[in-house]
A and B are shown apart, each in its own frame.
Chain A
Amino acid sequence: MRMNATPETPIPLADLRRSQPRFQGIESGHRACLGCGEALAARLVTEAAGPDVMIANATGCLEIFTTPWPESAWRLPWMHSLFENTGAIAAGMEAALKAQGKSTKVLAFGGDGGTFDIGFQSLSGMLERGHNVLYVCYDNEAYMNTGIQRSSSTPHAAMTTTSPAGKERMGKRHLKKDILTIIAAHHIPYAASASVAYPSDIRKKVRRAMEINGPTFLLIHSPCPLGWGHDGALSIEVARLAVQTGLFPLIELERGELIGAMPIRQPRPVTDYLGLQQRFSHLFKDDPRAREELEHLQALAERNIEYYGLKGLHDDPRDSEGADTVRRGGQRWA
């Protein structure tokens, strides 16, 4: 990893980024599934964050597939404690580093289960006390590591093993928890959503958060091919469609106020997104309840577009998202 460094002559911290133009925080050879969105997101985040960080990681896929004893894929100081306390572990690390006057930034990593649900309390506490921690939530919309169970981040009507479809049920009954609104209510300096389909956007948002001395939060939409029911090769396309339908808006908040949103030039119907995933396959059966759920999801998407002002005022003939290009038979962009 470090060029020309030895234990006796380590490279000074200030030179670390210069000596590694593209810093690699996670080494290859980890055990993630093919097409794992979370693995990609974690790589992008650690690349952008650089080497002077310390990581607190919740229980979940990321922790499991990167650290099968006696091996680890991390090239950064890293700890996994439990499922519910990542915010608090990070807060403790931050307090210690602050007391020692060190520049190392603390990152907290958790999945949606560990962030929206079981780890919510300790996250809220960390935010409220103003710790200088960047909390990154890798949102694959269910408890994936334990075999695809619903979390409060699971979208409405999605199938999981604890929200299966059946005679009496059409998947998850409850809405996807609006975590960013709750985070916004803590009035922290910066909170944002991002998607693995937009890697430059992730890097930009991570760098923004790294510069801030205070609590920051990043929600990264990370497809799980196994849990969502699509081929690993389609992960990026699926993630992009989530954004282009309006179901997963990419927004930025400062102190609770909306300061930025990625526009959608040509909003796609939600069925384009849902139809690629097995977890929504029951919505494409000939069933009045299925039609109702599709309408509901379309309404949720349109509500996001309106609320966050995602649609530009005019049609964009250049169509920088590339959707129109694809429709006209051209090459997919990026």
Chain B
Amino acid sequence: MIEVRIHGRGGQGNVVAAYLLATAAIDEGHFGQAFPAFGAERRGAPVVAFVRIAGQVLRRHNQVLHPDFLIIQDHALLHVPGVLDGLRPNGGILVNTTLDVSALEAQLGRAAIALPATQLAKAHLGRPVPNTALLSAFLALTQMLPMHALAGALGQKFKGELLERNLRLIEAAAQQVPAGLWKEVAHATGA
């Protein structure tokens, strides 16, 4: 089982990201589960969403306390206490940031992956919504699902021009991270 926690702000597509990831897993025949930790509706508020992907059915409905991976959709959230809580020792952190990797790792004091997802989204979608770029990078890093599964999930949510742009975006984003870097961690926990 792989557990992912996604931190973002309202309006960045945090919950959609979680749903897309779980949908991609389900469409590939795995068990997938995604849900937000909810608060009142509000743009800009910190939001957290959880994803579980497993080879067997999971029946639990508790929050993810010990994620294998963290996806941080907004660099500024790194200042929020508790954002990194519970991350497993070998766990991976993917951050949406314009900082380069060494600066990011210096700030965090540990290994992490930096992706300028907002910039990529602006370039491809014309809107600063970083979620699909981050998901693509995540899949490239973990290689836990084929990219076409994400494309399929996107196809259920978007149509026409927006879908086309998203498909190009995920291709571009996947190139920007070291492919398979987290593959062993993903396999060890076992999807």
Q: Assess A/B contact in the complex (Cβ within 8 A).
A: yes
Check if A64 sits within 8 Å of B43, measured CB to CB: no
Check if B44 sits within 8 Å of A34, measured CB to CB: yes
Q: Is A77 in the interface zone, CB < 8 Å from B?
A: no
Q: Which residues of B contact A145 (CB under 8 A)?
A: 40-41
Check if A33 sits within 8 Å of B44, measured CB to CB: yes
Select which of A34, A147, A225 is within 8 A of B41 by beta carbon.
A147
Q: Which residues of B contact A34 (CB under 8 A)?
A: 43-44
Q: Which residues of A contact B44 (CB under 8 A)?
A: 33-34
Give the interface residue-count category, chain A: 10 to 19
Check if B42 sits within 8 Å of A31, measured CB to CB: yes
Check if B45 sits within 8 Å of A31, measured CB to CB: yes
Q: Which residues of B contact A32 (CB under 8 A)?
A: 42
Measured between C-beta atoms, what is the minimum distance from B181 to chain A in Å? 37
Inter-chain CA distance A32–B41, complex, in Å, is 10
Inter-chain CA distance A225–B42, complex, in Å, is 11
- Chain B, range 22-62, C-beta contacts under 8 Å to A: 40-45
Interface string of A125-168 (1 = CB under 8 A from B): 00000000000000000001111000000000000000000000
Q: Is A97 in the interface zone, CB < 8 Å from B?
A: no
Q: Which residues of A contact B42 (CB under 8 A)?
A: 31-33, 65
Inter-chain CA distance A192–B36, complex, in Å, is 42
Measured between C-beta atoms, what is the minimum distance from B128 to chain A in Å? 13
For residue A147, which residue of chain B has the nearest CB? Answer: B41
Check if A65 sits within 8 Å of B40, measured CB to CB: yes
A-B contacts at CB below 8 angstroms, number: 20
Q: Which residues of B contact A144 (CB under 8 A)?
A: 41
Measured between C-beta atoms, what is the minimum distance from B38 to chain A in Å? 11
Inter-chain CA distance A253–B42, complex, in Å, is 35
Inter-chain CA distance A135–B152, complex, in Å, is 52
Check if B41 sits within 8 Å of A146, measured CB to CB: yes
For residue B11, which residue of chain A has the nearest CB? Answer: A226
Inter-chain CA distance A64–B42, complex, in Å, is 10
Inter-chain CA distance A65–B10, complex, in Å, is 14
Interface string of B76-119 (1 = CB under 8 A from A): 00000000000000000000000000000000000000000000
Q: Which residues of B contact A31 (CB under 8 A)?
A: 40, 42, 45
Q: Which residues of A contact B43 (CB under 8 A)?
A: 33-34, 225-226
Measured between C-beta atoms, what is the minimum distance from B48 to chain A in Å? 16
Inter-chain CA distance A31–B43, complex, in Å, is 10
Inter-chain CA distance A146–B39, complex, in Å, is 11
With most chain B CB atoms within 10 A of its CB, the pick from A32, A33, A34, A145 is A33
For residue A32, which residue of chain B has the nearest CB? Answer: B42
Q: Which residues of B contact A225 (CB under 8 A)?
A: 43
Measured between C-beta atoms, what is the minimum distance from B133 to chain A in Å? 23
Interface string of A51-68 (1 = CB under 8 A from B): 000000000000011000
Interface string of A259-303 (1 = CB under 8 A from B): 000000000000000000000000000000000000000000000
Interface string of A210-231 (1 = CB under 8 A from B): 0000000000000001100000
For residue A146, which residue of chain B has the nearest CB? Answer: B41
Measured between C-beta atoms, what is the minimum distance from A4 to chain B in Å? 37
Q: Which residues of A contact B40 (CB under 8 A)?
A: 31, 64-65, 145
Inter-chain CA distance A65–B43, complex, in Å, is 12
Measured between C-beta atoms, what is the minimum distance from A105 to chain B in Å? 29
Inter-chain CA distance A24–B41, complex, in Å, is 26
Write the residues of chain A forming the contact surface with B, with a CB cutoff of 8 angstroms: 31-34, 64-65, 144-147, 225-226
Q: What are 20 of the A-B contact pairs (CB < 8 Å)? A: A31-B40, A31-B42, A31-B45, A32-B42, A33-B42, A33-B43, A33-B44, A34-B43, A34-B44, A64-B40, A65-B40, A65-B42, A144-B41, A145-B40, A145-B41, A146-B41, A147-B41, A225-B43, A226-B41, A226-B43
**16 additional A-B residue pairs with CB within 8 Å, beyond A31-B40, A65-B42, A146-B41:** A31-B42, A31-B45, A32-B42, A33-B42, A33-B43, A33-B44, A34-B43, A34-B44, A64-B40, A65-B40, A144-B41, A145-B40, A147-B41, A225-B43, A226-B41, A226-B43
Per CB-CB distance, the 6 closest pairs between chain A and chain B, nearest first, are A33-B43, A64-B40, A147-B41, A226-B43, A33-B42, A31-B42
